Structure 1
Amino acid sequence: MPSPSPRVLLSGLSAAAIAVLAGCGTTVGTPAQDRVAPVAAGDRPPGTGTTTARPPTAKPAPPQALPGLGPRTLARIPRQTGQLVMVTGRSRTSSDATVVVYRRTPDGGWQPGAAWPAHNAKDGWTTDHHAGDLRSPIGVFTLSDAGGLRSDPGTKLPYHHSGGFSIGGRGFRGERLAGSFDYVVAIDYNRITGVSPLDWTRPMGASRGGGIWLHVDHGGPTHGCVSVSEPHMKQLLATLDPALHPVVVMGDAASLAS
């Protein structure tokens, strides 16, 4: 996260639709001398009434699973989770990622939203995040609190509006960082929930880092956060619902597949 000081951190199968193919038939003409006269309804033998063919019934599509997630990652997703933000890094050392928001469907599957381009930490991903390592933590983390320099754009998450989200300076590519924290969602890694993302309490200690957020993209890698464009960040805030127990599943593709 491009922050002047660390802060508290928050964290398939594609189902193929089953189609039933109904065949089409053609009627071939019969020479007149070979035709059989129709039998009147009253002359039909008992039990030989007219049978109407029923069209095949389409089977419902099976629930869609979460693509790219292996059994170990899936096991870490809480049973009550109804919303999931999947952040998939291009590689273990890449700062480029893709974000997709999923919602659980009544049949137990998952409905994906659009894929958004994103950035993560400059040096990629790690399963052992520490302050200043320039890597984003791999894992499954709840999403409980939001905030920003700008006023609440309309979210069901607790929103903490504060001037403390101001930031200046330049990023790793020389890009301006101003506006990066206009909207943020704290990822519940090494933080307590129910407080502002600016809260510095670190249950696992300061050495384990902090302030890993979802925030507005500034056009380059972060110090540890995940960033998306401002319109996508506002859409995320409007979508997340604490009643659905949202989580973020984040890491490089190979790690998430384990």
Structure 2
Amino acid sequence: MKRYRRMAVLAMAVLAAAVPAAAPPGQTAGTAYAAVLGQGVQGADKGGGPGVVEISRDTKAPAVVDGVIQPQNLEAAREADQMIVVVGTGGCNADTYYYAKSEDSFELVWKEASVVGRGGITSDKGEGDGKTPSGTYGFTMAFGLKEDPGSMLPYHKVVKGDYWVDDPSSSYYNQLVNTSVTSRSWNSAENLAAASPYYNYALALDYNSDRVPGKGSAIFLHCFTASADNGSAGCIRLPESRAKELVQTATEKTRIVIAADITQLK
């Protein structure tokens, strides 16, 4: 009987020595214990023996599969309620996809041929280069020459004297101003009131919101005309009906994803 007691005490002592008294930083007692036993914790022996539960590392799902966009796998999908995905197709041409969130997935509402900068899409945007900046952005406001169609974002009805400053040396760089209250202290700016039908409806991207001189300004999503289009100065152009729809539906959570081609989506 004493012999069996000694064996039980010895077994308990061995087990106590094997299990850490306290879990290391970043581990629970359960994962620390599993690490000692080698049962499925990353970095432990993964021999696949009886009772072993393997915990695999998270792998990023592809944004494109067989040439088809997987909107739920885009980085922007983590927080967006809607996504506008602009994919360059060569030169100043692009396809724009509009996705709306439905429970835990995103559904394609429409796809539309669109126009981007005359110099295409770039990851290194500069003022006056005629290129559209790639990346993921939100919208700061909606504006237009026409009356507010029911915008979810703050809507500015364009009036005489409205300018968007694109002079990097100006203190008003990449800002909307009106000459009735702001003295002209710039060498270059877009006269919004004179840009019909392009600015009938528009959304302002939050590109270069820090207003870094020379990094680019006045990047909008707005209307195009039915005539031949050789590209914008950097904006995204859509048929007026589509631009109006996006002005009506875009919120502070809506994201626009811009890529030079479909392989660049992430």
TM range (shorter): 0.5 to 0.7
Unaligned runs of 5+ in 2: 1-62, 163-191
Shift of 1:254: 4.3
Is 1:129–1:209's contact at 8 Å kept on the other side of the alignment?
yes
TM-score normalised to structure 1 length = 0.60
Q: How many angstroms does 1:240 deviate by?
A: 1.7
TM-score norm. by structure 2 comes to 0.58
Matches within 5 A, 1:159-174: 159-163=155-159, 164=162, 165-168=192-195
Residue aligning to 2:241:
231
CA RMSD of aligned residues (A): 2.4
Among 92, 100, 117, the alignment partner of 1:103 is 100
Counterpart CA distance in 1 for 2:263 and 2:214 is 23
Q: What stretches of structure 1 of length at least 5 have no aligned partner?
A: 1-11, 16-65, 169-177, 192-202
Aligned residue runs from structure 1 range 52-91, under 5 A? 67=69, 74-75=74-75, 77=76, 79-91=78-90
Match of 1:188 among 206, 214, 234: 206
CA contact (8 A) 2:64 2:262 kept: no
Moved over 3 A (4+): 12-15, 68-71
- Percentage of matched positions with identical amino acids: 24
SS of equivalent residue, structure 1 residue 249? strand
Which amino acid counterpart does residue 88 of structure 2 have in structure 1? G
Shift of 1:204: 4.0
Larger RCO (alpha carbons 8 Å, 6+ apart)? 1
Displacement after TM superposition at 1:226 (Å): 0.1
Measured at CA, do residues 233 and 95 of structure 1 come closer, stay the same or move farther in structure 2, by a change above 3 Å?
same
1:156/1:238 contact within 8 Å kept:
yes
Cα contact 1:70–1:256 (8 A) shared by 2: no
- The 3 A distance-change label for structure 1 pair 70 and 158 is closer
Equivalent of 2:256, from 230, 243, 248?
248
Contact 2:77 / 2:83 at 8 angstroms: preserved in 1?
A: no
Alpha-carbon distance in 1 for matches of 2:221, 2:122: 17
Q: Please give the per-residue CA displacement for 1:34-77, whole angstroms capped at 9, x wherever unaligned.
A: xxxxxxxxxxxxxxxxxxxxxxxxxxxxxxxx816797xx33x2
Tell me, in whole angstroms, the C-alpha distance in 2 between the residues paired with 1:78 and 1:111.
12
In structure 1, distance between residues paired with 2:105 and 2:118: 34
**Structure 1 segment 145-224 matched on structure 2, within 5 A:** 145-163=141-159, 164=162, 165-168=192-195, 178-191=196-209, 203-218=210-225, 219=227, 220=229, 221-224=231-234
Q: Residue 64 of structure 2 contacts residue 265 of structure 2 at CA under 8 Å; is this kept in 1?
A: no
Give the structure with the higher percent helix.
Answer: 2
